[in-house]
Structure 1
């Protein structure tokens, strides 16, 4: 059994055998059964139970850690959907999440430009026009004035809309006569036809492709830092979408292997964009790999984002024009054809679908794939996933349950979207937006993740959001559509066993039963025993991966 290299963690020496004595919840859920100790040996859970019995299983020389009386040991959090390499890259970009006006946005860009040579790219992430006062979209001319000598590309918080200045558009060869790419759009001035700099969906990729690529050592250092940030919030495994283009997959796999060799272990299931399906065929199918690094899903985008107004809705946006219903990424029948192709090659598929029209498209494609696969020999357990499932109609949870689809939810989205969601959807559609309880009650398998860097990776913030359905500061009182709240047990299970199930790793991840991976998080307080409004503030005391300490508070 391979063990991760260790960097050393304050207060723990790290050894092949560690005994934690304190409250342990091996299998999170409602009314969880607690144990008094857990023993890690050679990367696995060797025993769990009452302290005296577990001590009997420990060998002489085992490291013994007696935890504080209020602490609790949980299975390590499994982030069911994130972009860890994107999170790594974001560390070098402008953080624009607190910007409150186009003028402030321009000022932040100008400050960065003043420190850079002419021609150096400026990238940023996190702006949200709905939080500007008054709300307004930024454009290329705003950025031209702020950075006339530098190409600028700034992604909205959702990642589905961006704004670029004239230098960035020119570097990418985007002008008045440039056609929109399939599945994307460049906004244009209605009088002149000139691009305004706003880029939607795949149009972003056209401009982003003009950027210089960072070197391998720079990428590796950034990934190591991102993994350390994941450990600090208790995340021990990720289902991460990091492969977007043909040729990326070998480099991505090499980065994760190198990070583990250098003492930053994390278990990664790597999703691959459908554009790189041929590369995935050489490394796949789904599940191929080892206990640290495996091939995951083929990723499709059915639509965009609600905040960016590119989520595909069946009825117009409540705060938009009569024809504004968002964007579908594929022409009729094309998504279904490509999903069948991926499934036939042995791959789980993951379909990004936020609007109800996109959910329709995703479920139709999955139903067609299921029908096409019937009668073709022993069934392969490919747990297809619908990512986000943010705006539903009443029939969707039942259809998802019937198809055996895993719903991959991001409770932290609601915290950010409360500023605009009711106005964007209207009161009727809002009743089944972020409808987590409806999914659980229908029997849909639910996996939870962060979509980091779109939202913070911290699972405890997501758990609190799922339980309170407010902005993490108590607004609105009682929660937004509180009938869709999850219990603490349901929320914690979604971030542990649920995400493990979505990755096909149940029994190995998301549990602390004997034989499972010795991946655990030690919290300073028990989420079941504190007021729901305090869950997000619980400190992470320790994180263990493969039985080794990788994070300690302070």
Structure 2
């Protein structure tokens, strides 16, 4: 009873029919189901253990919870893998601690290496002044240094790396600066730093990131690349790993008027990190009112006319388009661009592309209405609010408390029908799907919170529906249903299971709820992608075997 399974047009392997039984299935259409049969990469049967059909292999679930697997709608695989295996700086709380961490890591590297690190966030330091280029060079023993800030929109770099970037024809760079590069200077230095990676190191980082995702119940990711973010070789390398015992990878290439190039590279869309602005952490997000702690309104990389031209290019090429937009002025420019494009190609043709905008952190009612009118998908990251929102964290320092609490308005978007797709923007925030769901449920601003089921749907079905039309059959993805793709995850739920069948994520005591909720999150035991197990926890026993 074996069936040859076809995924993405490639003949994979002969897979046995597998019965998973003895679980608690999150299956609203068939509540009470405890078992499912997988055949030919699809769910061939759902029901009670006692009624289960015969199968080649039986997997005993032992009361574990089974849900659709997660989709992370915005990741950077190479950066993520480098953080997992390299110099992580998210926990440092001072310049001196950063230098100590840098010195210890760099000492084990060859003299010619570029030291790559990520995650420092000066807004969490008592004295928020990062070390300059000279101190970085000394700590690294003269090696070239690139340390991206948590937002990945700026970095600390050594004088030697700046000199390398200058030699690579990056005008305007100075080797005598403070070592904190932003905007176009950052893009130039980043390209030099990541260009130093060998192909083996790059592939190992990508595989490490995707393996980590599988171990967290993530069966598909949207890889966001483009000029200033990653090289074409980096991007195509990640795509080549898709489904190879790992999560599926769907590529978004963010290059202005780059629909043809996106298609050539194997991307499903010409969007993702096509920057309309920067980030709040580096004060490069484009806002309508000046930053509270630094003056200025950030940086606009695209205007409405450029947005419209890109969308028209995408419509003409039959590709989904999209943009990175965080500040309210940037998101408004993108919305105005949609209106201009609709005037040229028509509203219905524009809506048919299911175009999307990444992040959408600051948005007003007018822009939300435009998203509804033009069928825009909002690809958002709830962990941003958990890490930087509220009254006393980085957003409050940058924007003031009022704008901080108004940011990331998930409920306002969801409430009027804007499709939501959740992601991590890893390594900006960690791969952490249940943490992401809880962040949306526990937003600092209660009026922006989602219910657990809505938040879970945004991180499962939402990720599939955010893909371009025709890439997958969305009605058969992200659900446990007869005939649907057998893409699911199995969980231990230490806090128990709620009445609706999902693991408990928030405390019973309302006083404990919020971004710091102590409720233990589920642990992934298995991840299955189209019938193939891409992750099995090391402490699980073997299946019952062939019957």
**Which TM-score bucket, shorter chain as reference?**
0.7 to 0.9
- Hey, what's the Cα distance between the residues in 2 that align with 1:410 and 1:536? 21
Q: Check conservation: 2:331, 2:360, Cα contact below 8 A.
A: yes
**Cα displacement (A) at 1:109:** 1.8
Mapping 1:399-548, distance limit 5 Å: 399-418=370-389, 419-469=393-443, 480-504=444-468, 505=472, 506-525=474-493, 526=497, 528=502, 530=504, 532=506, 533=517, 537-548=521-532
User: For 1:396-428, what per-residue CA distance to the aligned partner results, in whole angstroms no more than 9, with x for missing partners?
Assistant: 322211221111110111122132222322233
Do the aligned partners of residues 85 and 112 (structure 1) sit closer, same or farther apart at CA in structure 2, a change above 3 Å counting? closer
CA distances 1:282-317 after superposition (whole Å, capped 9, x unpaired): 356xxxxxxxxx623433111111111111110111
1:162 to 143, 155, 158: 155
Indicate the residue corresponding to 1:66 in structure 2: 60
The reply on whether 1:295 has 2:268 as its aligned counterpart is yes
RMSD of Structure 2 on Structure 1 (CA): 3.1
- Unaligned runs of at least 5 residues, structure 1: 6-13, 181-185, 285-293, 470-479
1:209 maps to: 191
Q: Which residue number in structure 2 is paired with residue 102 of structure 1?
A: 95
Asked whether the equivalents of residues 503 and 522 of structure 2 are also in contact (C-alpha less than 8 Å), the reply is no
Query: Higher RCO, 1 or 2 (CA under 8 Å, sep at least 6)?
Result: 1
Query: Would the aligned equivalents of 1:119 and 1:149 in 2 still touch at CA under 8 Å?
Result: no
Alignment of 1:20 onto 2:4: no
For residues 347 and 398 of structure 2, the distance between their equivalents in structure 1, rounded to whole angstroms, comes to 44
Give the direction of change, closer, same or farther, for the CA distance of 1:267–1:259 in structure 2 (3 Å limit).
closer
| 8 Å contact kept, 1:246–1:279 | no
Alpha-carbon deviation of 1:131? 1.2
TM superposition shift of 1:342 = 2.7
Normalising by structure 2, what TM-score? 0.84
Match of 1:2 in 2: 6
Q: Aligned equivalents of 1:251 and 1:171: distance in 2?
A: 20
In structure 2, what is the Cα distance between the partners aligned to 1:241 and 1:307? Answer: 20
SS in 2 for 1:159: coil
Aligned ranges 1:354-369 → 2 under 5 Å: 354-369=326-341
**Offset at residue 326 of structure 1 (A):** 1.0
SS of 2:271's partner is strand
**C-alpha displacement at 1:203, in angstroms?**
1.8
**Counterpart of 2:16 in 1: which secondary structure?**
coil
Pair 493,218 (structure 1): closer, same or farther in 2 beyond 3 Å: same
Q: Secondary structure at the match of 2:352?
A: coil
Over 3 Å counting, the alpha-carbon distance change for 1:531 and 1:380 in structure 2 is closer
Contact 1:35–1:49, Cα closer than 8 Å, also in 2: yes
Q: What residue in structure 1 maps to residue 542 of structure 2?
A: none
The aligned counterpart of 1:268 is 249
After TM superposition, the score normalised by the length of structure 1 is 0.83
Matches within 5 A, 1:195-274: 195-211=177-193, 212-244=195-227, 249=232, 252-253=235-236, 255-258=238-241, 260-261=243-244, 264-274=245-255
CA contact (8 A) 2:36 2:46 kept: yes
**Cα pair 1:75 1:511 within 8 Å, conserved:** yes
Identify the match of residue 73 of structure 2 among 73, 80, 94.
80
